[in-house]
């Protein structure tokens, strides 16, 4: 049975998580602050951790950092609230597995759990890779692995290719292995803006429910349409 630890200083949030996660068949542990959470974490070595960002004492970023510095491999899902964008971006650089917004929706919880279990089955985080295919008036760009600022050269080279002179739509498709850090967000935004500057519409698809919410927080929805499912034309 998969062990899940939930760390949050709000009792109603803990009660909600415990109710849903137990109903799903998980072994659930809860903690009302970061210090207690880390103590339980070291005792039980949970496969999945949900931690709130804003907590008195040890906050979610410190919890995440200490987990990443431990010898225990866990998927850490950050619980965010309104105005937490800056800290959420910092969490990306500490390899947060996913984000889930308050108030927590069942769909968001299901998405976070599905993504965490997929990542658990991966031996390691995949390196960034990029493939593209031009069909008629559109170009499909598939992104795998971890997107960081190191991808800037590859994306800039693609943007400068003749393929973009022949299309009216660019579809960026994110693989299940996709993850992103702070530098990757800036790289992705600049790439999407560069496409839009060519009067080409941009669609981002294959994103999890929670990544769509996170990209909306980052303002990416202002330059690209964000969809979970593939586009049929």
Q: Give the pLDDT of residue 95.
A: 87
Q: Give the pLDDT of residue 8.
A: 96
Ordered by start, the domain boundaries in the chain are 3-120, 129-226
CA dihedral (83, 89, 91, 93) in degrees, to 10, reads -170
pLDDT tens for the chain, 233 residues long, are 999 999 999 999 999 999 999 999 999 999 999 999 999 999 999 999 999 999 999 999 999 999 999 999 999 999 988 667 888 889 988 989 899 988 889 999 999 999 899 888 876 667 899 999 998 899 999 999 999 999 999 999 999 999 999 899 999 999 988 889 999 999 999 999 999 999 999 999 999 888 898 899 889 999 999 997 544 44
According to CATH, what is the number of the domain 3-120? 3.40.50.2300
CATH class of the region 129-226? alpha beta
What is the rounded CA–CA span in Å between residue 124 and residue 216?
Answer: 28
* Residue 93, burial from CB neighbour count under 10 angstroms (0-12, 13-18, 19+): middle
The pTM of the full predicted model, rounded to 2 decimals, is 0.85
């Amino acid at each position: 049975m998969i062990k899940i630890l939930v760390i949050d200083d709000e009792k109603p949030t803990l009660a909600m998580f415990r109710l849903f996660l137990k109903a799903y068949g998980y072994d659930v542990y809860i903690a009302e602050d970061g210090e207690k959470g880390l103590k339980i974490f070291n005792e039980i070595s949970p496969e999945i951790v949900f931690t709130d960002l804003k907590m008195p004492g040890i906050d979610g970023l410190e919890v995440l950092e200490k987990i990443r510095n431990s010898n225990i491999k866990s998927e850490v899902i950050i619980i965010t609230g309104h105005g937490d964008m800056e800290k959420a971006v910092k969490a990306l650089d500490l390899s947060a597995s996913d984000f889930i917004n308050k108030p927590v929706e069942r769909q968001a919880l299901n998405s976070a759990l599905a993504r965490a279990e997929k990542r658990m089955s991966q031996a390691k985080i995949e390196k960034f890779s990029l493939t593209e295919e031009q069909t008629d008036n559109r170009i499909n760009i598939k992104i795998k692995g971890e997107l960081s600022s190191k991808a800037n050269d590859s994306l800039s080279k693609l943007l400068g290719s003749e393929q973009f002179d022949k299309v009216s739509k660019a579809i960026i498709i994110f693989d299940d292995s996709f993850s992103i850090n702070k530098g990757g967000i800036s790289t992705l935004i600049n790439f999407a803006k560069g496409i839009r500057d060519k009067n080409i519409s941009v669609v981002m698809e294959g994103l999890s429910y929670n990544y769509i919410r996170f990209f909306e927080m980052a303002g990416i929805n202002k330059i690209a349409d964000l969809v979970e499912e593939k586009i049929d034309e």
